[in-house]
Amino acid sequence: MMTHAAYDCDVLVIGGGIVGLSTAYALTRAAPGTRVTVLEKESGPARHQTGRNSGVIHSGIYYRPGSLKARYALRGSAELADFCAEHAVAHATTGKLIVATDRSELPRLHSLVQRGREHGLPVRELGPAQIAEYEPEVRGLAAIRVNTTGVCDFTAVAHRLAAEVGAAGGIVRYGAEVTAIDRRPWGVAVRTADGPVVRARTLVNCAGLHSDRVARLAGDDPGVRIVPFRGEYYALDRPELVRGLVYPVPDPAFPFLGVHLTRGFDGSVHVGPNAVPALAREGYTWPRVRPAELLSTLSWPGTWSIARRHWRYGAGEVHRSLSRSAFTRAVQRLLPAVTEDDLRPSPAGVRAQAVLRDGTLVDDFLIREAPHTVHVLNAPSPAATACLPIGREVARLALRRAQETGWKPPAVQSGHCV
C-alpha cells in the first residue's frame, strides 16, 4: 500500500472544460483539503465545447422527465445564474421563444408545453400576434415562451472555476496532454506528453471529445465511440432583427435543436448551428482532417447505422454547410427579413456525441465507473448549463472511489462531516 506522501494528488481530473473544472471545484468544496489536480492539454481552459457553443443557459424544457439532463439542467440553470451573479460573470435571463412554422410541428409544440408544465417551468402559449410582441421580425403559426432561459459567458465561468480551484489549493496544469494511464491496485499513474507522471488515488475522465480514448487508455471499454459533429454558426450583421432567443420546434428523431437565433450577453446575434459530421475530433473547418480520428469514426459500426437512418437529414445539413443561400433559406423560416448578405461566418464548435455500437445516439448524460476511475462519456448540451450539479455528482463518485484505497477525506479525518 502506498503512503499518502507517495501520491501526487488524491483525485486527478483529465479535462479543463467546464465539466472537468466544475468537478474539481465541487471536490474542493465537498471535502476541503482534498488534493485535486486538473490536467488540460491546451494552454488554457474552455478551448473546445465549453468555449465554442451558443452560450445559452437552457431551461430544461426539452428533456425527458426523470432523465439526468432534465434533473441537472433544471437545477443547474438557476445555480449557474447565481454563480454568475456572485462572481460578476456576464449573463442575462432573456427568455426564449420556441416557434412552430409549419402545421406538422404543432403537436410537438403542444407536447413541449406539457413537458414544461411537468417540469414546473413558466410556459406561456402564444399565437402569431403575441409572437410579434416579443419578436417583431419572427414569423410563426404558434409559439411558447419560456422565461427562465438565459445567456452567459461560459468561457468566463470556466476561468472563474479554475481560479476557485486554485484558491482552494488545487492545481490546474495546462499544456499537459495525457499519453498513458497505468492502473494499479493502489490507484492510477498518468503520464503526460511533457514527461511527468502523476500518481493519484482516483482518476476522473472529463476529456470531452477524447473521453472514449482516455477510457481505453485506462484499460476500460467505454461501450461507445465519440462521433464528432461540427456546429457551424453565422453572426447576424443586423442584430436589431432579434431581441432574444428564438428556436424552432426540435425533431425528436435527432439530438440537435436545429438552427436557432441567439442574442448573446454582449448584444451580438448568432445563427446556427448547422450540424455536420466533422473529419477530426477538433475539426472546426472542412479542411481539418485527422486520418486516424476519421478512421476511428468510420470503423465504428454505429457510424454506418446513423448514416443509414438519418441520411436525408444529414444530406440537408451538409447542403446548408456548403451553400450559404440554402442556410439562409432555413433561417428565413423563422426570420423572413434575413438575407444572405446579413450572415457572416462565425467560429464553429464540435459536439462530442457518444454513439452505441448499434447506432443509437446516447441521448442522456453518461457517467460510468471502473476501479479507481470515473468516466464522463457523454456530456453534450446542456452540460454547460448543468455543470454545477454534474460536477457535484462526479465529485461524489470520485470521493467514494478514493476512499476505496483506505483514504479518508480531510474533513472526516478531523472529525467533521463531508
Beta-strand runs (E) in 59-177: 91-93, 96-100, 123-126, 142-146, 150-152, 171-174
CB-CB contact of 220 with 375 (8 Å): yes
pLDDT value, residue 416: 36
Which string of DSSP letters, residue by residue, matches 318-376?
HHHHH-HHHHHHHHHTT-TT--GGGEEEEEEEEEEEEEETTSPBP-S-EEEEETTEEEE
3-state secondary structure of 259: coil
Task: Specify the domain boundaries for CATH 3.50.50.60 within the chain.
Answer: 1-92+148-224+364-412
Write the CB contacts of 104 (distance below 8 Å, at least 6 apart in sequence): none
Listed in order, strand segments (DSSP E) in 164-218 are 171-174, 178-184, 187-192, 197-205
- Across 41-141, the runs of DSSP E, i.e. the strands, are 56-57, 91-93, 96-100, 123-126
The per-residue pLDDT for 233 is 95
Residue type, 401: R
Distance CA 319, CA 313 (A): 10
The residues, any chain, with a CB within 8 Å of residue 289's CB and separated by 6 or more, are 279, 280, 283
For residue 336, is the peptide bond before it cis, meaning its omega torsion is within 30 degrees of 0?
Answer: no
pLDDT at position 1 is 59
Strands 197-205 and 9-14, bridge-based pairing: parallel
Q: For strand 187-192 and strand 197-205, is the pairing parallel, antiparallel, or unpaired?
A: antiparallel
The DSSP secondary-structure symbol of 125 reads E
Domain 1-92+148-224+364-412: give its CATH architecture: 3-Layer(bba) Sandwich (3.50)
Question: d(Cα 200, Cα 7) in Å, to the nearest integer?
Answer: 6
Identify the residue whose cell numbers are 472529525: 415
Return the DSSP state at 220: -
What strands, in cross-sheet order, belong to the sheet with 150-152? Answer: 56-57, 150-152, 91-93
**Which pLDDT score, from 0 to 100, does residue 414 have?**
39
The residues facing 173 across adjacent strands are 39
| Partners of 178 in beta bridges | 192
Query: How high is the mean pLDDT in each 10-residue block of the chain (418 residues)?
Result: 82 98 98 97 97 94 94 96 97 95 96 95 96 97 96 98 98 97 96 93 98 98 97 96 95 76 94 94 96 97 93 88 94 96 96 96 96 97 97 98 91 42
